[in-house]
Chain A
Amino acid sequence: QVQLQESGPGLVKPSDTLSLSCAVSGYSISNSDWWGWVRQPPGKGLEWIGYIYYTGTAYYIPSLRSRVTMSVDTSKNQFSLKLSSVTAVDTAVYYCARMNKLEGIVDAFDIWGQGTMVTVSS
Chain B
Amino acid sequence: DIQMTQSPSSLSASVGDRVTITCRASQSITSYLNWYQQKPGKAPKVLIYAASRLQSGVPSRFSGSGSGTDFTLTISSLQPEDFATYYCQQSYSTPWTFGQGTKVEIK
Contacts and interface: CB of A to CB of B under 8 A. Distances in A.
A97 B34 CA distance: 15
B98 A102 contact: no
Contacts of A48: 89, 95-98
* Residue from B50, B91, B96, B98 whose CB has the most chain A CB atoms within 10 Å: B96
A45, A60, A106: most-surrounded residue (chain B CB, <10 A): A106
Interface of B: 1, 31-34, 36, 38, 42-46, 49-50, 53, 55, 87, 89, 91, 94-101
A113 B98 CA distance: 18
Given A45-B98, A48-B95, A105 B45 contact: no
B45 A46 contact: no
Contact of B53 (A47, A105, A107): A105
Summarize A's interface: helix, strand, loop or mixed: strand
Contacts of A59: 94-95
Contacts of A115: 43
A105 B52 CA distance: 12
B50 A106 contact: yes
